[in-house]
């Protein structure tokens, strides 16, 4: 709850507005694979796991652009989620689009380069899939560069704070389960 409040305040300050008068934030996704858009196709899932679905459910967010090196995957994703602008090159998307929040849903081996590109652009906030990198020193460099640039860098460990998982943790710690 405290972290959510801090994040909300930082997002509100991106344009110096309060939460009641916030305009829609322009969101772009790089990496149009399973975690970006298809993971919620499993009817057995109780929660939202995919980025595009989560974005579509927040009225203050609008998915305005997407990027993937695989043209077929890019077109399929864009069609399904009604994304108006598509790119095969992240650098081109960052140069041409006004992006408030960039979601990085690419393979981990590309995170370092993609986050660096985003930090060097006009993007205000970066939401990167976990892990941020395979290399600790690279991760530290990215965090420092984000702090220096004043940009918000978030790594997707959000499930840890979901109510469902907190309940599971409490049940396990209470001794009601697992004995």
Backbone angles phi, psi at 130, to 5 degrees: -85, 155
User: Residue 64 has which token pair?
Assistant: 């305005």
Low-confidence ranges of the chain (pLDDT < 50): 1-6, 9, 15-21
CA pair distance 12, 23, nearest whole angstrom: 10
CA pair distance 68, 137, nearest whole angstrom: 27
46-77 pLDDT tens trace: 777 899 999 999 999 999 999 999 999 999 99
Please say whether the beta carbons of 70 and 105 come within 8 A: no
3-state secondary structure string across the chain? CHHHHHHHHHHHCCCCCCHHHCCCEEEEEECCCHHHHHHHHCCCCCCCCCHHHHHHCCCCEEEEEEECCCHHHHHHHHHHHCCCEEECCHHHHHHHCCCCEEEECCCHHHHHHHHHHHHCCCCCEEEECCCCCCCHHHHHHHHHHHHHHCCEEEECCHHHHCHHHHHHHHHHHHCCCCC
pLDDT of residue 178: 59
Residue carrying the six token digits 């679905």: 53
CA pair distance 163, 160, nearest whole angstrom: 9
Q: What is the strand order of the sheet 125-128 is part of?
A: 85-87, 61-67, 25-30, 101-104, 125-128, 152-155
Q: Could you tell me the pTM of the whole model? A: 0.79
């Amino acid at each position: 709850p405290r972290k959510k409040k801090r994040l909300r305040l930082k997002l509100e300050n991106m344009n110096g507005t309060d939460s009641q008068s916030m305009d829609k934030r322009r969101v772009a996704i790089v990496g149009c694979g399973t975690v970006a858009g298809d993971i919620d196709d499993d009817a057995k899932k109780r929660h939202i796991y995919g980025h595009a679905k989560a974005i579509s459910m927040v009225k203050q967010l609008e998915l305005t652009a997407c990027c993937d090196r695989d043209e077929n995957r890019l077109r399929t994703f864009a069609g399904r989620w009604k994304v108006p602008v598509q790119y095969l090159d992240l650098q081109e998307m960052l140069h041409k689009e006004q992006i408030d929040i960039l979601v990085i849903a690419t393979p981990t081996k590309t995170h370092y380069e993609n986050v660096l590109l985003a930090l060097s652009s006009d993007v205000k906030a970066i939401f990167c899939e976990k892990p941020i990198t395979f290399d600790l020193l690279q991760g530290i460099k990215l965090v420092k560069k984000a702090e220096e640039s004043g940009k918000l860098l978030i790594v997707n460990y959000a499930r840890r704070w979901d109510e469902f998982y907190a309940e599971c943790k409490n049940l396990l710690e209470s001794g009601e389960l697992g004995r």
